Amino acid sequence: MKRVFCFILFLLLLATNGMANNVAAPGQVEIGISPTEKSGIFNYKKRIKYKLDIKNGTKVDQVGTLYYELKSVDGESLLERVFDINIPSKKAINNDFEIPFETPGAYLIKFTVVLNKVKREFNFSFDFVTGEKPDKVAERAANKNSKEMFDAELDGEMEGEIKIAMKPSNIDGIFVGRSNIHYDVNL
């Protein structure tokens, strides 16, 4: 009986430890956006996708929006999308979403996450190229200094502390694709 109790206690501790990794530290909201491909290179089989991770460690439900805007390097707005976000207290969301864009060229993409009175911005630059080998595209993009940039702003006040967990994984900022990119978001 004592062994069974110890085994159940051990399993309970493991489960509690695993759940703790899915929630931010108490009083914090962690926000992260990154490309889904480690290399940052997308092609007709690997569509342009980004991963959104938000962990709510506060005692308050976080309600807000995810907004992104795709611009040419000249500053012309090409694509905009807005989605509602609702994260219950002490919970987390992890979602991948596709960018429905297929025109070759160099672009900037700006993500803005607004939760209650908190605002965070993430900026990336990338090339979207069709018909070229990724090695040649990466070499060309490196010459244009297309590494990711990000900037975080705090707009307003909120209980607790905000922590940004951002891990940009594309080094060259290259995306290669084809014409049938579609868009699907589940938040």
Tens of pLDDT, residue by residue over 78-130, are: 999 999 999 999 999 999 988 888 777 677 888 899 998 677 887 776 666 55
Bridge pairing between strands 105-115 and 118-129:
antiparallel
Coil/strand/helix, residue 11: helix
Asked whether residue 165 is domain-assigned, the answer is yes
Q: Tell me which residue of 73, 141, 85 sits closest to 109, measured CA to CA.
A: 73
Asked whether residue 160 is domain-assigned, the answer is yes
Range with the lowest mean pLDDT among 9-18, 31-40, 90-99? 9-18
Asked whether residue 95 is domain-assigned, the answer is yes
Q: Tell me which residue of 66, 46, 144, 78 sits closest to 112, measured CA to CA.
A: 66
Q: Which residue range(s) make up the domain with 168?
A: 24-176
| 102 vs 182 pLDDT, higher one | 102
Asked whether residue 113 is domain-assigned, the answer is yes
Asked whether residue 147 is domain-assigned, the answer is yes
Asked whether residue 183 is domain-assigned, the answer is no
The count of domains in the chain is 1
Which two tokens mark 66?
Answer: 């995810």
When pLDDT is cut at 50, 70 and 90, the band that residue 149 belongs to is very low
State which amino acid sits at residue 96: D
Q: What are phi and psi of 172, to 5 degrees?
A: -95, -10
When pLDDT is cut at 50, 70 and 90, the band that residue 50 belongs to is confident
Asked whether residue 13 is domain-assigned, the answer is no
User: What CATH number corresponds to the domain at position 135?
Assistant: 2.60.40.3880
CB 158 within 8 A of CB 118: yes
pLDDT at 39: 63
Tens of pLDDT, residue by residue over 52-63, are: 899 998 899 999
Asked whether residue 87 is domain-assigned, the answer is yes
